[in-house]
Amino acid sequence: MSLNIRAYGGFVPQMSVAFGALDGEPVSVTGTTPLPMTPRLTGAATTPLMGTTTVSATVGPFTPELGRAVWLTLAGNFSGRVALLRSTDGGTTQVPLTYADGAAKPAWSGTLNAPVAEETVAGATYYLAITLDSGSLSYRLEQ
């Protein structure tokens, strides 16, 4: 769609947004000098998926808010691995996360406290596929 602006008076007055410097001239808002703003975020309203297990299991679902990092924390004295699974059909099909080339992301086999995903598809849910050989694992999937 094209927008044509006609200047019937033969000129177009220049208008711009600017912000003031404390001890200087106003600064025009441009791509290199954006408005000095800090986004204000509120805490996510999601319910964490958390627990402790001594047996292998698949736990979930965790339903994330869109556009926020999903954090996974794994702790405890355990031997085994944990894979993050994603579903877009209410949990009927759960598939491991992959890289862009289709290679599966590795499962974790030790303690972890890191962002592991960011969701943009409404209705997507996450599950943890836990395979324990021994010990006790505490897990927390949250935003």
> 112 versus 8: which is more confidently predicted?
112
Domain assignment present for 60: yes
- Average pLDDT of 78-98? 96
Q: Is the pLDDT of residue 74 over 60?
A: yes
CATH of the domain at 122: 2.60.120
Domain assignment present for 110: yes
Q: How confident is the model at residue 111 (pLDDT cuts 50, 70, 90)?
A: very high
Q: Is the pLDDT of residue 17 over 80?
A: no
Q: Is the pLDDT of residue 73 over 90?
A: yes
Domain tally, the chain = 1
Domain assignment present for 40: no
Instruction: Give me the pLDDT at residue 29, please.
Output: 81
Domain assignment present for 29: no
Domain of residue 66 covers 49-142
Residue 140: in which H helix or E strand, if any?
strand 137-142
> How much is the pTM?
0.74
Domain assignment present for 22: no
Task: Label residue 126 exposed, middle or buried (CB < 10 Å: 0-12, 13-18, 19+).
Answer: buried
Q: Is the pLDDT of residue 16 over 70?
A: no
Instruction: Give me the pLDDT at residue 70, please.
Output: 97
CA 97 to chain centre: 14
Q: What is the mean pLDDT of the chain?
A: 89
- Average pLDDT of 24-45? 82
Domain assignment present for 4: no
The Cα–Cα gap between 74 and 78 comes to 10
Domain assignment present for 7: no
Instruction: Give me the pLDDT at residue 21, please.
Output: 65
Residues 6 or more apart in contact with residue 7 via CB below 8 angstroms? none
The Cα–Cα gap between 66 and 125 comes to 11
Domain assignment present for 6: no
